[in-house]
Amino acid sequence: MVTVSIIDSVLKEGRKALAENEVKEVLREAGIPTTDFQVARSISDIDQKKLKFPVVLKVCSPSILHKTDVGGVVLDVPKDQFEQEFSKMREKFPDDKILVESMQDRKVEVIVGLINDATFGLTIMFGLGGICTEVYKDVTFRVVPIKREDAEEMLREIKAAPILEGFRKIKVDREGIINLLLAVSAFGEKYMDRLDQMDLNPVFIKSRGVIVVDAKMLLK
């Protein structure tokens, strides 16, 4: 299994944090949709024919979890500036790999997480992403594992619930969100003995489908 192999490799290296590409590979095996990506140290290792421009460049390192804070993310890179921006990123982070993925149309953003609580054990968190998470702390929690009814309640509990119910004709895939919460819960239950926390933020919610754009994971 990909997940077991990655987790074992990370722990063998004495790490607790996974790099973004490792997290996304783990999520995919769990049936959680993520962006398509390529990871490389050299631009010659990137298959540009498979890229849909504009793209995003991210430093990809288990030691850099907050990429934006260190200038490790470049958005909206067009094809004619790709090689130049890739080289700049390599110069800035010479010891790390670079992750390349196509830009996603910005939709409603949510955050989904797993957190090991000292009292309750592994809990799942859900809320609207962006400013709602950072400023208003508009999130809700449940103890893992959850059932469908729990996931439905979580969608209704946050203050921003009207956005998920078609406010101003905003179309979101509520069923996709529910399935995502159930999949994350199942993943957490399966790897509860090894998982410390996981942060999927942002997750873009489309009119049909959801996609994890960025992800972090820490092991015990």
Instruction: Please tell me the total count of domains within the chain.
Output: 2
Say yes or no: 125 and 210 in one domain: yes
Same domain, 64 and 132: no
In a domain, 126, yes or no: yes
What pLDDT is attached to residue 165? Answer: 81
Query: Residue 4 falls within a domain, yes or no?
Result: no
Q: Which of 56, 78, 77 is nearest to 67 (CA)?
A: 56
> Which candidate, 122, 125, 107, 130, places its Cα nearest to that of 211?
107
Domain ranges, residue 212: 106-219
Give the separation between CA 95 and CA 53, rounded to whole angstroms. 26
Same domain as 112, residue 98:
no
* Partners of 112 in beta bridges: 126, 200
- Looking up residue 75, the CATH number of its domain turns out to be 3.30.1490.20
* Pairwise CA distance, residues 7 & 190, whole Å: 13
**102, 128, 148 - which closes a domain:** 102
The CATH number covering residue 129 comes to: 3.30.470.20
Task: Say if residue 174 is in the same domain as residue 137.
Answer: yes
pLDDT at 185: 98
pLDDT at 132: 61
Q: Are 215 and 27 in contact (CB under 8 A)?
A: yes
What the block records as the tokens of 157 is 């509990």
Angle between helix 2-12 and 20-29 (nearest 10)? 150
Among candidate residues 64, 87, 102, the one where a domain is terminated: 102
Q: What are phi and psi of 198, to 5 degrees?
A: -145, 140
Same domain, 137 and 202: yes
Question: What is the model's pLDDT at position 161?
Answer: 87
Q: Which residues of the chain have pLDDT under 50?
A: none
The H-assigned helical ranges of the chain are 2-12, 20-29, 82-92, 131-134, 148-157, 161-164, 174-190
- In terms of domains, do 155 and 85 share one? no
Do 133 and 203 sit in the same domain of this protein? yes
Residue 23 lies in a domain: no
Residue-level pLDDT at 38: 98
Per-residue model confidence (pLDDT) at position 129? 82
pLDDT at site 75: 96
Say if 28 falls within a structural domain: no
CA distance 176 to 219: 27
Give the up-direction half-sphere exposure of residue 109: CA atoms within 13 A in the CB hemisphere.
14
Does 191 reside within a domain? yes
Domain boundary residue, one of 84, 102, 120: 102
* CA–CA dist 19, 98 (Å, integer): 11
